[in-house]
């Protein structure tokens, strides 16, 4: 259980179809099973968002908690990609950081603000496969 508490945690919107696809992508490409997940609709996800000064009811909330530090917006995505370990994802994470934050964060926020309209919304939170459940926080 101690390893679970130190694992990087991604807080995502469990009813957002784009966010659920992102989690599925990470489950497929995170071969080391490094990342754990909490939906922003769960008690643990809400608590993490609040602890890092984010509104758990905001559609802009996306959080990576790693090493006690919270990453948001495009920094969170770049950090996650870099942490996947495969060369192509590390490279993509570095390439994202070459774009100035003042340019990439507004693009991220635009997509986040309109994600339900563009990608759709589910009536229920994403449910992991039984073999993946240990990586999801309640």
Average pLDDT, the chain: 90
For residue 123, the model assigns a pLDDT of 79
Answer whether residue 95 shows pLDDT above 80.
yes
Domain 2-121 belongs in CATH node 3.40.30: yes
Answer whether residue 17 shows pLDDT above 50.
yes
Q: Rounded to an integer, what distance in angstroms lies between the CA atom of residue 27 and that of residue 1?
A: 20
> Is residue 119 within 8 Å of 16, Cβ to Cβ?
yes
Max Cα–Cα distance, the chain, nearest Å? 40
Residues 54-62: what's their mean pLDDT?
83
Residues 8-32: what's their mean pLDDT?
93
Measure the N-to-C terminal CA separation of the chain; round to a whole number of Å: 14
Answer whether residue 23 shows pLDDT above 70.
yes
> Is residue 92 within 8 Å of 79, Cβ to Cβ?
no
């Amino acid at each position: 259980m101690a390893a679970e508490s130190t694992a990087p945690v991604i807080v995502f919107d469990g009813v957002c179809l784009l966010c659920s696809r992102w989690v599925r992508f990470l489950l497929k490409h995170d071969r080391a099973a490094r990342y754990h997940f909490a939906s922003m609709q769960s008690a643990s996800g809400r608590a993490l968002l609040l602890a890092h000064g984010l509104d758990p009811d905001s559609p802009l909330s996306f959080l990576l908690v790693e090493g006690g530090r919270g990453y948001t917006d495009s920094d969170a995505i770049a950090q996650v990609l870099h942490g996947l370990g495969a060369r192509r994802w590390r490279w993509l994470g570095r390439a994202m950081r070459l774009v100035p934050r003042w340019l990439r964060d507004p693009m991220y926020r635009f997509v986040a603000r309109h994600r339900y309209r563009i990608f759709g919304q589910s009536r229920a939170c994403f449910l992991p496969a039984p073999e993946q459940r240990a990586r999801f926080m309640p």
